[in-house]
């Protein structure tokens, strides 16, 4: 019988063998790493946010879900020693338009990583003339005009679930972000109704007027179905929106994507400061209703 160890039969603990110190250390590091990031805050945003001051990127985690691949591998990092898991909604580099984002894969991917809280950063158009370009809005309501055009539920077949969506954004996370804004002296609109359209085209002036009369303050293309999919998985979800321009017909000027990018860039520093403060402000343990969203929701 041949031994696979060295020829003098001394016990040799090889790196990678199940008895080795290095193997155990490796496994312990892996479990520590996963435990740490399981408790992290999820952040969905565009690529510009990888440049947050003080952000330390520690690794990437590709995830495969039953709905396919998320927009990109999740990036595991830290802000002020708080673990954060990033996902660029439109891929990296930016290449997936809002109506083609695989929202179910993105949200399920966070769930598979153990994330139970997500902050979504989004550029929006302002419908409310009081909300000037460059303003930051913490929306509290959603009007969904994408309905029927996107995969918007995890409960297509089998169990029938009607999740409560009276308050589409997590109340606890909203109040943490608003409190962080007060502490950092950053002006934010503490409420706002976000109307979500399918895109990728921008809206007509008549549509915006219709939305304004319906009570919408801002218009964007991504809050839905992100918000409801998060609720269906009992993940807390909230939004930080940057008004990058006035929507069609609110001013007489023609809308351009360069205007959107310029305003976004000008708001980046305030956004980064707010994000860092907000992430530190969010309590470790959840006391909101999101964690019990599926209770009494099935038929
Ligand atoms: Zn919540």
Q: Is domain 41-292 annotated with CATH 3.40.50.1580?
A: yes
End-to-end C-alpha distance for the chain, whole angstroms? 63
Instruction: Find the 46 Cα to ligand 1 centroid distance in Å.
Output: 23
Per-domain boundaries in the chain:
41-292
pLDDT level of residue 21 (50, 70, 90 thresholds): low
Please determine, for residue 126, whether its predicted confidence score (pLDDT) is greater than 90: yes
Going by their DSSP bridges, the two strands 136-137 and 74-79 should be labelled as unpaired
CA 152/CA 228 separation, integer angstroms: 7
Q: Would you state the pLDDT for residue 37?
A: 53
Going by their DSSP bridges, the two strands 82-88 and 74-79 should be labelled as antiparallel
Instruction: Find the 169 Cα to ligand 1 centroid distance in Å.
Output: 8
Q: Would you state the pLDDT for residue 7?
A: 40
Indicate the average pLDDT of the chain: 85
Rounded to an integer, the average pLDDT of 123-138 is: 94
Candidate from 54-63, 95-104, 214-223, 280-289 with smallest mean pLDDT: 54-63
Instruction: Find the 176 Cα to ligand 1 centroid distance in Å.
Output: 11
SS3 262: helix
Q: Would you state the pLDDT for residue 159?
A: 87
Instruction: Find the 117 Cα to ligand 1 centroid distance in Å.
Output: 7
Instruction: Find the 143 Cα to ligand 1 centroid distance in Å.
Output: 19
Instruction: Find the 25 Cα to ligand 1 centroid distance in Å.
Output: 36
Q: Which residue has 């039953």 as its token pair?
A: 66
Please determine, for residue 34, whether its predicted confidence score (pLDDT) is greater than 60: no
Please determine, for residue 165, whether its predicted confidence score (pLDDT) is greater than 50: yes
Beta-carbon neighbours within 5 Å of ion ligand 1: 170, 172, 236, 288, 290
Instruction: Find the 235 Cα to ligand 1 centroid distance in Å.
Output: 7
DSSP label at 208? Answer: H
Instruction: Find the 182 Cα to ligand 1 centroid distance in Å.
Output: 20
Instruction: Find the 212 Cα to ligand 1 centroid distance in Å.
Output: 28
Instruction: Find the 121 Cα to ligand 1 centroid distance in Å.
Output: 17
Instruction: Find the 234 Cα to ligand 1 centroid distance in Å.
Output: 8
Instruction: Find the 108 Cα to ligand 1 centroid distance in Å.
Output: 17
Q: Is this model's pTM higher than 0.75 or not?
A: yes
Instruction: Find the 165 Cα to ligand 1 centroid distance in Å.
Output: 12
pLDDT digits (tens, 9 = 90+) for 260-273: 777 777 788 888 88
Candidate from 38-42, 167-171, 201-205, 212-216 with smallest mean pLDDT: 38-42
Q: Would you state the pLDDT for residue 17?
A: 55
Rounded alpha-carbon distances, angstroms, from residue 256 to 66, 97, 137, 262, 279 = 37, 16, 21, 10, 32
């Amino acid at each position: 019988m041949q031994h696979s160890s060295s020829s003098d039969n001394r016990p040799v603990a090889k790196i990678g063998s199940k008895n080795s110190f290095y193997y155990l250390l490796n496994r312990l590091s892996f479990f520590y790493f996963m435990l740490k990031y399981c408790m992290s805050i999820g952040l969905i945003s565009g690529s510009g946010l990888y440049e947050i001051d003080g952000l330390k990127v520690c690794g990437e985690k590709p995830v495969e879900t039953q709905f396919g691949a998320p927009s990109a591998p999740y990036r595991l990092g830290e802000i002020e020693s708080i673990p954060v898991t990033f996902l660029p909604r439109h891929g990296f580099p930016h290449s997936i338009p809002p109506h083609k984002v695989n929202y179910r894969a993105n949200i399920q991917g966070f769930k598979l990583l153990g994330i139970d809280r997500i902050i979504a950063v989004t550029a929006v158009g302002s419908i409310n003339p009081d909300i000037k370009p460059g303003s930051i809005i913490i929306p509290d309501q959603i009007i969904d005009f994408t309905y029927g055009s996107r995969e918007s539920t995890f409960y297509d077949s089998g169990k029938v679930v009607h999740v409560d969506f009276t308050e589409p954004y997590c109340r606890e996370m909203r109040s943490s972000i608003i409190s962080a804004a007060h502490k950092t002296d950053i002006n934010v609109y503490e409420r706002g109704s976000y109307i979500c359209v399918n895109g990728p085209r921008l809206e007509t002036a008549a549509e915006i007027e219709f939305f304004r009369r319906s009570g919408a303050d801002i218009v964007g293309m991504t809050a839905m179905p992100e918000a409801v999919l998060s609720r269906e998985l009992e993940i807390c979800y909230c939004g930080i929106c940057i008004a990058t321009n006035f929507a069609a017909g609110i001013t007489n000027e023609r809308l351009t994507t360069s205007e959107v990018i310029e305003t976004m860039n000008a708001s980046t520093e305030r956004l980064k400061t707010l994000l860092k403060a907000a992430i530190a402000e969010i309590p470790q343990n959840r006391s909101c209703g999101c964690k019990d969203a599926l209770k009494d929701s099935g038929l």
